[in-house]
Structure 1
């Protein structure tokens, strides 16, 4: 039985590296250049799975044997059974994450493909707020913030050039000697469409850093 171990952002990275190698095999005539791309792709994939078992690493290393478009496509399809789903979450759990928000607009949880979800994000147009939910160290964390659409820009989560908005959240972390009215807002440009962002994101470092900064938790 296949044991899922590939998270969405890791699968996106695999698709990206597979695409680069596929392009090199199709369009580059110099064998040395192709092998350089092949080595780079394999190395970046292995680095993304520091805790991989021997069998999992062997599965990832199969990218080194691919040459044709059909092989690349089959390889990606063969990895789908190993995709680890985003933890199931209920509407009741969402309400508990945002207890101060009355009559909160919720996303359609039944329409989500949890295999291709790194974080859950949705916008409430009526209040100009973005809600973000992420499972950090096994516990759901919810962040809400002001959502101000701008123009095209680079999303701090997926690092791609997309339609972005300024997402500004007030941190819950307070310095030891802070005054009672102290507050600090942390702002970043994020994709307007979280579905697009989830298809692009290849690393959760920035996301987890943001979650910790806003929540004030070093470890959850």
Structure 2
């Protein structure tokens, strides 16, 4: 074998290895979207937001980030990063209180200040609202509607807020069916670690991460 042929074979081998590596590293995506699910992350933005965004975008996922107004106001660059990464930003109250224990004026303040904080940070005006702890009543819902917000609870609770393991979070996401929404949290390291496996599981079932409709509250195509 000549040196030229040997070198050519070596280059071909390197190229083949590079292609194989790229295919292996490619984020999991469903070949065809047979349905959409809503991935949601509460309580950001935080010191974990940048890493979470990297995990989501690296695995071809988009999500709705239900931000607390106080954190959006304190870290506007992170809100802009969420938007730049293709995420949707929702309202999760300003200080995360038990809204059902507050008067109407206090509820109004919590929601209104968060709308202002998100817009002031460079995000679009939120159209989705998640009440803290999922606690709501007619007054909370009416105040949210006053600001053009659709209340979004969840169909599946990942239990990441309760110390759920990576495996448990992946298993929770595996229960999602088309149109449903899962509750997760911006600050959970286990949730972040679960993201690649969540993406793989969804793709294997022909499901894609979508936006949450402000009309129906269900996950739909982006």
**Same fold, TM exceeding 0.5?**
no
Relative contact order: is structure 1 or structure 2 higher (C-alpha 8 Å, sep ≥ 6)? 2
TM category (shorter chain) comes to under 0.3
Counting strand residues as a fraction of each chain, which structure ranks higher?
1
TM-score, scaled relative to structure 1: 0.27
Counting helix residues as a fraction of each chain, which structure ranks higher?
2
TM-score, scaled relative to structure 2: 0.27
